Structure 1
Amino acid sequence: MCKALIFGCVAAVILMSAAYGAPLNWTQKAARLEASIADLGLLKDFDNVSGDSLLSEDSFECNHTTLACFLKELEVLKLDLEEDKQRPVINIQKNLEDFMDPNFSNPTCKKCEANEKKKFPEFHQEMTRFLQSMQKEIV
């Protein structure tokens, strides 16, 4: 009976970790940021991206909110790209999902819609800088 109870508890912990994802350690975070920066580099020369992207001037003050805004803009970017060119954007989104905290709230951080609109080259440059700054914080 005791063995069954222990086995049940271990199984529950394993299932919860699989369902919610175990927290990333710093090595995993660094690897995901590195992969995201590399994938972002693949987007550098895209010149057929239409529209403007919303990007905060104070993008380094509210990291979590800024990351959420970048992810929203990546979703829009994915829609602008042909299907065969979407893979780097999808990879970046997947790599950065685990950095998000759904419970984060800071009323002093701007909402994405309040940010300045910028063309894709500026968006690309700012996102690259932002990810590099996150990478420095981890290491």
Structure 2
Amino acid sequence: MSPVLLLALLGVTFPLPGVQALFCQFATIQDVWNLSDLPLRWTPKNTSCASGMGCQDTLVLIESGPQVSVVLSKGCTEAKDQEPRVTEHRMGPGLSLVSYTFVCRQEDFCNNLLTSVPLWAPQPPAGACGRVGRRGRGCQ
């Protein structure tokens, strides 16, 4: 029996060039925090994706009054690669939504968002906009 056939019968597989499996960060969070708890930081686990799959990060922050609802999903996906995208909707004081999506295949653990810092900047205290705004920074 040929060595290649024997290895195939034993379940040994060899990755095909260009279709290599990725390792991605994996985590899910769905919870509500006080705004004072932000920014958040999480510690993901690692997962091995099926061949051809990419790594993804999805984070949604919904502020409602003094609380923020957080939905995080990190792991493997079949979706096409997507550059990091941030979408922000502010509907007045105390109500806003920020979402982040990213799909990658360029290297293992490329879905490396570990904190809400790049997406969540606390609003300045009431009355501070006029003072800061005159210096050209802060409120808009």
TM-score of the superposition, structure 1-length normalised? 0.24
TM-score of the superposition, structure 2-length normalised? 0.23
Task: From the two aligned structures, give the one with the greater helix fraction.
Answer: 1
Greater RCO structure (CA 8 Å; 6+ sep) = 1
